[in-house]
Amino acid sequence: MDLRESMVTEMLRRNDRSKWSSYSNHNIKCFAEGEIRGITSNYETIIGKGGFGQVIHGDIKPANILLDDNFNAKISDFGISRFVNTESALFTDHVIGSIGYMDPLFVRSGRLTSKSDVYSFGIILVELITKKKATVRNGETNIVECFTQALATGKRRVRELFDVEISSRNNMKILEGVAKLAGQCLKMEMDGRPEMRDVTIGFSIK
């Protein structure tokens, strides 16, 4: 008898290419809430803390976040996930992940924790409100650097980075809420970043 374990998941029709162009000025609220609540709840259910340890995904990026027809997000691709003790982080000399989405603290020190996944999630939120990719080619501007610099400057500068197609007056509160959350996730000090389970609690759109 073959006793190997396997994971069975539902089929999700929306892929990485379609989801970034499928939301508009009219459904940004639905998209943002579905993305944030879906990712965080799915993260806690699948790879959150368990009785013996914790799984760190290690490669949170848009291509690994799938959406159903109602914009509910699901995390996929656990190929480089790591299991660590609940009270410790993982230290490694073998730094792997996706360029543009890795926690710079992990890249520099090899220290990987769940807060590294939170940082990557913050990058996804920046992409959500700017509709720009975090990966940088020759001569392109790094949108994450622009965003963090804008946060230090003030709300007006942050607003200038919002994608024009979704930055209507009616959506401004939503976009600013996502931007605030992204700023918390992108803090350079790990202790300043929220736990993934706390992200949804801190994000509320009326």
| Residue 75, token pair as written in the block | 């995390």
| Residue 178, token pair as written in the block | 């996502």
| Residue 84, token pair as written in the block | 């660590």
Region of 110 (left: φ > 0; alpha: ψ -120 to 50; beta: rest) is: left
CB 185 within 8 A of CB 128: no
For the stretch 33-61, what's the b/e string if a residue is b when 16 or more beta carbons lie within 10 angstroms of its beta carbon? bbbbebbbbbbeebbbeeeeebbbbbbbb
Amino acid 45 reads T
Residue 26, classed as helix, strand or coil, is coil
Nearest to 71 by CA among 13, 125, 11, 126: 13
Rounded Cα distance, 39 and 50, in Å: 18
CB 115 within 8 A of CB 184: no
Whether 69 is catalytic is no
| Residue 27, token pair as written in the block | 């459904």
From 2, 59, 77, 198, the catalytic residue? 59
Q: Provide the annotated active-site residues.
A: 59
